[in-house]
């Protein structure tokens, strides 16, 4: 059976981009794959969160993952920091990663640009830690959004380098995965290309947003004065609204507005009203479950303890074999 691994950093609430980029696919796969999903809390240390904030956010995101449908009976749901084998593999893999290739990664260059005052070594080696998360369970598939393509390429490079250096085929070369064949990029509402929690105010719709907040954000989404010619090309901001509608609305609804766009009768106000209601319809059951999970500390504890045990068993096996391959052998 193939193995699937994915994780999300606990840096804020889940939004529609996280859901459609990563979570939805993971949930669909957990039945048929050997599945691991983790809260990437080691990764979140690059921005030095306050200990209390880190702890609170982790609890919140665990509740959100469960509400999205991660089933701890089918998947191993664990906290990255509960599995220190991750850090040991990260150490080994750092010896195989070149500073030059890490410096060239687009996410690193992006981070330097956005936070020139905090260019720590952990940021540089972020792709090595991510690769370690994945190969720790010898994963084949990784459900993530389109923005993670380069990280997955680097993961394959590191895994392949390990295999070459140690003359083995120990690690499979994992690929980014989405059932729709193509990786997904969910657009933001402010005209920026990507929905993300660190983008501007109003860009992202969070799964726990109340209906009033969702209506407000959607109604403020950028549009323009409308098409002037029959069957014209959609400008990017308009494409974005259609992309969101494709994710949450019924096919008929989408078709109705496509036709209205093509024959220039579209009213973006109406379209956004419909989109807001369809998002609310989609997120409401999730939002209602988040609160129930969040308040059940005993259940959260049990789920994570069980996840820790299963993840450590898998990780310990890999580490034992990797140590052997590397030459750390008993006399």
Residue 142 contact, options ligand ADP, ligand TRP, none, Cβ 5-8 Å cut-off depending on partner type: ligand TRP
What residues are paired with 3 via a beta bridge?
A: 34
Looking at beta carbons, which residue is closest to ligand ADP? 21
Q: Are strands 175-177 and 141-143 parallel, antiparallel or unpaired?
A: parallel
Cβ closest to ligand TRP, residue 24 vs residue 43:
43
Cβ closest to ligand TRP, residue 7 vs residue 307:
7
Distance separating the N- and C-terminal Cα atoms of the chain: 35
Closest to 185 measured CA to CA, from 268, 113, 248, 247? 247
Q: Which of 15, 43, 156, 312 binds ligand TRP (CB under 6 A)?
A: 43
Contact flag: residue 134 with ligand TRP (CB under 6 A):
yes
Q: Residue 159, Cα to own-chain centre: how many angstroms?
A: 21
Contact flag: residue 85 with ligand ADP (CB under 6 A):
no
Contact flag: residue 227 with ligand TRP (CB under 6 A):
no
Q: How many CB atoms lie within 10 A of CB 301?
A: 10
Cβ closest to ligand ADP, residue 59 vs residue 197:
197
Helix (H) or strand (E) holding 202: none
Q: If you ran DSSP here, which 8-state letter would residue 81 be given?
A: G
Pull the structure tokens for residue 219.
């109604």
Sign (positive/negative) of CA torsion 284, 290, 296, 298? positive
Q: If you ran DSSP here, which 8-state letter would residue 201 be given?
A: T
Q: Which of 5, 9, 29, 128 binds ligand ADP (CB under 6 A)?
A: 9
Residue 185 contact, options ligand ADP, ligand TRP, none, Cβ 5-8 Å cut-off depending on partner type: ligand ADP
Cβ closest to ligand ADP, residue 35 vs residue 322:
35
DSSP string, 166-200: TT---S---EEE-TTSSPP-PPPSSS-SS--TTS-
Spatial strand order in the sheet of 75-79: 75-79, 34-39, 3-8, 141-143, 175-177
Residues comprising the chain, all counted:
331
Pick the stretch among 56-64, 129-137, 183-191, 264-272 that binds ligand TRP (CB under 6 A).
Answer: 129-137
What residues are paired with 206 via a beta bridge?
A: 15
Of 108-147, binders to ligand ADP (CB under 6 A) are: 144-147
Contact flag: residue 89 with ligand TRP (CB under 6 A):
no
**One character per residue 164-203, x = contact with ligand ADP (rule: CB under 6 A):** --------------------xxx-------xxxxx-----
111 is catalytic: yes
Contact flag: residue 142 with ligand TRP (CB under 6 A):
yes
Contact flag: residue 312 with ligand TRP (CB under 6 A):
no
| Contacting residues toward ligand ADP, per CB under 6 A | 8-9, 11, 17-18, 21-22, 144-148, 184-186, 194-198
| Contacting residues toward ligand TRP, per CB under 6 A | 5-9, 40, 43, 130, 133-134, 142, 144, 148, 151
Residues marked active site are found at: 111, 194, 197
């Amino acid at each position: 059976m193939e193995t699937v691994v994915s994780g999300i950093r606990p840096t804020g609430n889940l939004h529609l981009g996280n859901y459609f980029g990563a979570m939805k696919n993971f949930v669909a796969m957990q039945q048929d794959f050997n599945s691991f999903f983790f809260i990437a809390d080691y990764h979140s240390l690059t921005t030095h969160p306050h200990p209390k904030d880190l702890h609170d956010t982790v609890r919140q995101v665990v509740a959100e993952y469960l509400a999205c449908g991660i089933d701890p009976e089918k998947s191993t749901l664990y906290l990255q920091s509960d599995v220190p084998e991750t850090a040991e593999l990260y150490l080994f893999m750092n010896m195989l990663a070149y500073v030059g290739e890490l410096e060239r990664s687009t996410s690193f260059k992006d981070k330097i640009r956005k936070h020139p005052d905090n260019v720590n070594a952990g940021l540089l080696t972020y792709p090595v830690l991510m690769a370690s998360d994945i190969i720790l369970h010898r994963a084949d598939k990784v459900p993530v959004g389109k923005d993670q393509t380069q990280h997955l390429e680097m993961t394959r490079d590191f895994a392949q380098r390990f295999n070459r250096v140690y003359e083995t085929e120990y690690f499979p070369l994992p690929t980014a995965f989405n059932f729709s064949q193509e990786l997904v990029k969910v657009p933001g509402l402010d005209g920026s290309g990507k929905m993300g929690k660190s983008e501007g105010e109003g860009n992202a719709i969070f799964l726990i947003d109340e209906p009033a907040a969702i209506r407000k954000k959607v109604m403020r989404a950028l549009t323009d004065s409308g098409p002037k010619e029959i069957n014209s090309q959609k400008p990017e901001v308009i494409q974005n609204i259609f992309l969101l509608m494709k994710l949450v609305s019924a096919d008929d609804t989408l078709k109705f507005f496509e036709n209205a766009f093509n024959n220039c009768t579209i009213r973006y106000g109406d379209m956004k009203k419909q989109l807001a209601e369809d998002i609310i319809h989609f997120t409401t059951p999730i939002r209602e479950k988040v609160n129930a999970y969040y308040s059940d500390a005993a259940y959260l504890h049990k789920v994570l303890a069980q996840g820790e045990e299963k993840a450590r068993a898998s990780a310990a096996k890999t580490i034992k074999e990797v140590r052997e391959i590397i030459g750390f052998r008993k006399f």
